[in-house]
């Protein structure tokens, strides 16, 4: 792994339709190969895919189980080779094998040198689709360091809760990368919640969504795009529309330092908040 500290980091958010059911991972790998070539030509250090970009997301419990792999399995090995070939790190989602239980909805970061740096299992499962296909993760997301940047991972619905991003910020994350498969009905996630997570924690957030229609196991699912890179004051540094695109932008440590001069984090009073974790009343639901 490269331990050189860099003041800037070039990110590519790959907004793409999800593969057709039954095709396996090979078409997705071919599309990823082309996206990495494009990202490399534009100077990107990391490429972030949508949630389950290589296997499909709403594929049903049986197919999710059949396509599940270990974190170091053939899919990871293939992506490692692609990352090394193009010199671009990859953050990608996949169904991770979980014994006889439903697989985890996982995301993994593989460095441009081919090393696996971080693995996270989605802890906040979204609705009937996630509940039918996946087991919830039981651990907080990791923070890993590369090129002097501390990077955290979340998956889709996780970013709609303030606590996971806040936890990453308190553990020193500079940047949170979020593969997602958010439906067209919920544009407020990219337009409001992602900027809020960035601003309230004074970090960058890269949110890579799918677009187009997926012929899901039960019904078609339409994804809304709007892949977004937000700066540490909540500003949209780059945002896609609803069509396939590779969104490339460079983030700067100097912008991070400037934003953190006005961070609220040092004024937190965690002793007052402890009871929040014990409450289960959900009176607003």
Among all residues, which ones are annotated catalytic?
51, 122, 156
The values of phi and psi at residue 131, to 5°, are -60, -35
* 232 closest CA partner among 269, 268, 270, 260: 260
3-state secondary structure of 169: helix
Q: How far is CA 189 from CA 132, 164, 178, 195, 279, in A?
A: 23, 15, 12, 9, 25
- Read out DSSP for 58-113? S--HHHHHHH-B-TTSHHHHHHHHHHHHHT-EEEEEEEEPBTBSPPEEEEEEE-TT
Q: Two tokens at 83?
A: 């990352």
- CA dihedral angle for residue 263, residue 46, residue 78, residue 165, rounded to 10 degrees: 10
d(CA 159, CA 154): 7
d(CA 55, CA 68): 9
Class of residue 168 by CB neighbours under 10 A (exposed 0-12, middle 13-18, buried 19+): buried
* 34 closest CA partner among 21, 49, 23: 49
* 68 closest CA partner among 31, 47, 93, 49: 93
């Amino acid at each position: 792994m490269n331990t050189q500290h860099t003041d800037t980091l070039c990110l590519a958010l790959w907004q793409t339709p999800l593969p057709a059911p039954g095709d396996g991972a090979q078409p997705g790998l071919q599309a990823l190969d082309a996206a990495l070539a494009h990202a490399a030509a534009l100077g990107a250090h990391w490429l972030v895919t949508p949630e389950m970009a290589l296997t499909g997301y709403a594929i049903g419990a049986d197919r999710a189980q059949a396509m599940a792999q270990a974190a170091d399995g053939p899919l990871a090995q293939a992506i490692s080779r692609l990352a090394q070939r193009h010199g671009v790190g990859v953050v990608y989602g996949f169904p991770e094998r979980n014994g006889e239980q439903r697989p985890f909805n996982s995301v993994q970061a593989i460095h441009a040198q081919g090393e696996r740096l971080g693995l996270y299992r989605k802890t906040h499962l979204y609705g009937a689709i996630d509940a039918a296909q996946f087991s919830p993760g039981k651990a907080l997301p990791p923070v890993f360091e590369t090129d002097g940047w501390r990077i955290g991972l979340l998956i889709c619905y996780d970013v709609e809760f303030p606590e996971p991003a806040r936890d990453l910020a308190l553990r020193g994350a500079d940047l949170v990368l979020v593969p997602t498969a958010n439906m067209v009905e919920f544009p407020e996630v990219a337009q409001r919640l992602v900027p809020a997570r960035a601003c309230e924690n004074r970090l960058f957030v890269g949110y890579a969504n799918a677009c187009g229609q997926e012929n899901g196991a039960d019904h078609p699912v339409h994804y809304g795009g709007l892949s977004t890179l937000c700066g540490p004051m909540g500003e949209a540094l780059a945002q896609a529309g609803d069509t396939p695109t590779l969104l490339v932008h460079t983030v700067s440590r100097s912008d991070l330092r400037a934003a953190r001069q006005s961070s609220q984090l040092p004024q937190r009073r965690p002793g007052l908040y402890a009871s929040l974790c014990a409450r289960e009343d959900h009176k607003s639901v």
